[in-house]
Amino acid sequence: MIASTQFRSSLRLREFLLYVSDCALRDAPEAATEQQIGVHVFQRPPGYNSSEDSIVRTHARLLRQKLAEFFSTDGAAEPLIIEVPKGHYLPIFRPRQSPPLPAPFALPAEPVPAPIIEVKPASASRWDYWKSTPLGIVVGVLLVLILAGFGAFVVRTWKKPLAAKTSVDVFWAPFLTGDPPLVIYSNARFLGDSKTGLRYLPAGADPTKEPVVDHYTGIGELASVYELTRLFDARQASFVLKRSLLVTWDEAKQRNLIFIGSAAENPSLNALPSLSDFTLVAKPEFAGFINQHPRTGESVLYSRPEHPLTMDYAVIALKPGVEGGKHTLMFSGLTTLGTQAAVEFATHKDTLGELLKTVSATGGGVRPFEALLAVTIEGGVPLQSKLVSVHVH
């Protein structure tokens, strides 16, 4: 096919066809999403904004046209047809339809004699008479074939039951449908450079005396975006990614929002109603979460050790969005590693299932909540996260 006249002059369409066909043959639909095709075929960076970059959708339309053209010309004799259904990128392989059945009998060359009209007894039904004619026989055979094909379709359908929704599908449902959510990751301001060392821009500092650096983020935020990309790609959904210093609220108020990073490094969070139960306190010598409404057995303060950093605390919170009907999801650690642990906790079905037992709504969905996690760290890597407290609102 790729050597045909339809595909010979288009390298990109050849690569597109080979890539998605390979995904289908490997039974890997999660690799045939718009994001993955953009990255592997069109060399787009991971997490690129596919809602603004339509290169995959444009080439998918061209690919469908070229496939239809090939199978009606150069590939007219091919017994197998490849199609890419609209709205999807994973191709299907189906047998070409059989040629029309031959006429059941040859037309006579001689003049046809006058038909003999047979008078049936009154007790015989019209069907008994009609089914004995050549036309009736052909129609009967066709009906049998149609019913057999329908029965085979029903059997195949029953053999492939719909997959049950996982805890991840339930928790993330509002963010996986409709308009892509806006993912906002932390983007703090620093002073200094690679020679003098970077340090946080203190409040009231004069930015004219020393250059301000505003294009760094934490390694935990980077790992978190990677986890979200895997989650959304596997479900053929997308999101819009922006660093916090570039967010405009005219854009954000109409979307579902996902915040990655603490309020200390994510200025956009300051424009939203703060967490009501777990409040972040960050000082040069101390960082922790204050439990504003402690329940039986809960502490008032959860703080991490400074040196060595062997544990951290993080909050996962689901709150109403800026506009009615929208949602805001927050992942905030005391350090960048705590933020990473919170996102990983909420994107894996085993850990998320524990949280859903408490926050699931009776009629389906998830109730607004704030959950506090304790995270063990070793070698600069979050290893294990444990639910400490869940406050449902």
Percent of the chain with pLDDT over 90: 28
pLDDT tens-place string over residues 364-374: 789 999 999 99
Averaged pLDDT, 367-389: 91
Question: 0.75 cut: is pTM over it?
Answer: no
Q: Which of 117-126, 151-160, 372-381 has the lowest mean pLDDT?
A: 117-126
Q: Are residues 220 and 307 in the same domain?
A: yes
**Domains of the chain: total:** 3
Work out the pLDDT band at 315, boundaries 50, 70, 90.
very high
Q: Are residues 23 and 87 in the same domain?
A: yes
pLDDT tens-place string over residues 255-313: 899 999 876 666 556 555 555 788 888 776 778 898 998 999 899 999 887 778 889 99
Q: Are residues 172 and 59 in the same domain?
A: no
Q: Are residues 220 and 250 in the same domain?
A: yes
Work out the pLDDT band at 107, boundaries 50, 70, 90.
very low
Q: Are residues 249 and 135 in the same domain?
A: no
Q: Are residues 53 and 133 in the same domain?
A: no
Judge whether 117 lies within some domain.
no
Show which of 72, 95, 118 is a domain's final residue: 95
Token pair listed for 122: 């009154």
Q: Are residues 150 and 250 in the same domain?
A: no
Whether residue 236 is predicted with pLDDT greater than 50 in this model: the reply is yes
The residue ranking higher by pLDDT, 371 or 350, is 371
Q: Which structural domain, as residue segments, surrounds residue 49?
A: 11-95
The residue ranking higher by pLDDT, 222 or 198, is 222
Q: Are residues 178 and 282 in the same domain?
A: yes
Work out the pLDDT band at 100, boundaries 50, 70, 90.
very low
Q: Are residues 254 and 341 in the same domain?
A: yes
Judge whether 327 lies within some domain.
yes
Q: What is the mean pLDDT of the chain?
A: 80
Work out the pLDDT band at 321, boundaries 50, 70, 90.
confident
pLDDT at 254: 79
Task: Return the bridge partners of 304, or none.
Answer: none
Judge whether 4 lies within some domain.
no
Q: Are residues 73 and 219 in the same domain?
A: no
Q: Are residues 133 and 238 in the same domain?
A: no
Judge whether 107 lies within some domain.
no
